[in-house]
Amino acid sequence: MAGRGLDVRGAEALSGLTSVRLDQLVLPCDDERLNVWPRPPAPAFTVAPSWPLPPQLHSLELRRAQQKVEVLGCLQLPLALQKVGLQANVLKFSLEGGVHVAMPSCRLLPSMQRSLVNAFALASASRSLWCVEVAFEGAPFGVDESPLLLPPAPEEVAAAAAAPAGRASSGLHRPGHGPWLAALGSLPSLAELRLAHVALDEEDVRTIATCLTRLEVLCLTADAAEPPCCPAASWPLLARLPRLRLLALDARFVSQLPRGEVAEAVRALLTEAACKELRVCLRHRRAGDSESEGYSSGDSDIEEGSAGSGDESPESSQPEASEGGGMSDVGPREDSGGRVEVLVRLLQAELRGAGLDPERVFWVVTDDDDDDGDDNDDDDDV
């Protein structure tokens, strides 16, 4: 069977189906919601559903990058299944407030945490999957600043761990976002991870540094510093990743952190980095751009443009160090881009003082989110 989508409800009844090649597996309520405005809320998945696949299915291939965690992570796989393919080589999950996330607490539902773990366990069968993106879409309509996704409360995690084991229940005892972050370690070719509006604590960063040993690019997107998207003190933990060559941080939250903490963290990270090619990029959204759910352009393609470089020599463009050996307080231009530029120059001066290459820190200006072009737009019918 080939086509755009297959309703997973009742798919088990297709007893003779042996091969499926589709854009994605869907739920019928998705289309119904899209055709109504204002869009009614989707049901919250406080209990994970279960979607049995056809018993004779031996090949499942999905063409779109964007998939639904409440579908992919809740499949009952037949014993006959031999092949799982994700043809986009990129896997994206969007987590909605009130659907996958309890609101207004912004805590991931334990059932959806387990579904993420299951989904990544299933995706591990696809050896060509090199990039994963998880984005929290929790901002109400008209609100510029997006909240951050918090992990389930500890008591909810304990209750979920006591529930019947799922397809991939190991690791659910980890604190914070650890269960699904650790599950990413099972992806054999994962080189890039993009997290949008996800609150990471030090233990989460330690999980990334311990479990995602093949990671080359890590991109963190967030609007504000409170609660911290990722505390600066935890960044040096990423130094142990042997292949990490780019840490892309959203300038919106980094520029609101204490400059001294940022400078110390960046200096320690680049000093201790196992990969001596590791660079830190601050990504700045151009003033006046519409709010987005997260940067989705491939960070492996980030290059310094004219932003932050100019015609100045590296020496003349750096702020002077204060008498105490710290960074001088150089006033930024009025626009937020100026603040980012000043921060980068301060960081570069700090690196130069530590005997490190200042060009290992740079910044880029981004416009609206780019379409990765991963999704297949053909009009095949089921």
The pLDDT assigned to 33 comes to: 44
Nearest to 156 by CA among 181, 185, 179: 179
Q: Identify whether the C-beta of residue 206 lies closer than 8 Å to the C-beta of residue 178.
A: no
Given pLDDT bands bounded at 50, 70 and 90, which one contains residue 227? confident
Q: Among 94-108, 195-209, 292-306, 345-359, whose mean pLDDT is lowest?
A: 292-306
Nearest to 346 by CA among 324, 323, 366, 326: 326
The pLDDT assigned to 145 comes to: 64
Question: Which residues have C-beta within 8 Å of that of residue 347, sequence separation ≥ 6?
Answer: 262, 263, 266, 280, 358, 361
- Percentages of the chain per state (helix, strand, coil), in multiples of 5: 30, 20, 50
Burial-class residue 7 by CB neighbours within 10 Å (0-12, 13-18, 19+).
Answer: middle
The pLDDT assigned to 214 comes to: 97
Write the DSSP string, 31-96.
Answer: HHHHTSSSPPPPPP-SS---EEPPTT--EEEE--SEE-HHHHTTEE--TT--EEEETTSEEEEEEE
Which of the 8 DSSP states describes residue 192? E
The pLDDT assigned to 126 comes to: 87
Describe the strand order of the beta sheet including 2-7 as a list of residue ranges.
2-7, 19-26, 59-62, 83-86
What's the chain's average pLDDT?
78
Top-confidence residue, 46 or 243: 243
- Residue 278: pLDDT above 80? yes
Question: Which residues have C-beta within 8 Å of that of residue 364, sequence separation ≥ 6?
Answer: 281, 282, 283, 284, 302, 303, 304, 305, 307, 308
Tell me, what amino acid is at 31? D
pTM, two decimal places: 0.80
The pLDDT assigned to 164 comes to: 54
Top-confidence residue, 106 or 322: 106
- Residue 225: pLDDT above 50? yes
pLDDT in tens, 168-215: 455 566 789 999 999 999 999 999 999 999 999 999 999 999 999 999
Q: How many CB atoms lie within 10 A of CB 296?
A: 21
Q: Where do the domains of the chain lie?
A: 63-139+175-187, 216-287+336-370
